[in-house]
Amino acid sequence: MQPEPIHLAHTTIPVAPGRSRGIVRLVNAVFYAHHGVTQEEHRIGGRYEVDVAMELNVDEAAKADALEKTVDYEGVYRLVREVVTGNKFYLIERLAYKIAHRVLEVYPIVEAIEVTVRKPNPPVGGACDRAEVTYSYRRGKS
């Protein structure tokens, strides 16, 4: 049986009867960092844009109006900034993977995550608005 695809960034998620889910998003967080396959990209750096969509049960947080029962998106922003600006990777695929797994490590309430990393004006030898990668991960049942 094929696992269901995860599409968190711009869609709603199917919810089984009697269950609820929410998606907490951080959209277009922008950083200056030094990632890429060329020496010039590592030396000069460039702009990176990140979206994070996290699926979780938000019932308790909504009922109690309590931040500690959900994902603190300010905290997520700090984690993303730490990963993006504190490392040098060749691939934006690795960057998206590292962001996703760092968020999952810190926020066990997150059941699934989707991270998109955009690199505006990539060095492709021609006109190109951006290169981007989306990485999705859903926790397995324990």
For residue 21, count CB atoms less than 10 angstroms from its CB and return exposed for 0-12, middle for 13-18, buried for 19 or more.
middle
* 63: its two tokens: 């009922």
Phi, psi of 116 (to 5 degrees): -115, 130
Within a 10 A sphere around the Cβ of 32, how many other Cβ atoms?
A: 10
Q: Pick the catalytic residue: 63, 69, 88, 119? A: 119
In the residue annotation, 63 being an active-site residue is answered as no
Rounded CA-CA distance 134/14 in Å is 20
How far apart (Å, rounded) are the C-alpha atoms in residues 76 and 103? 7
Catalytic residues: 119
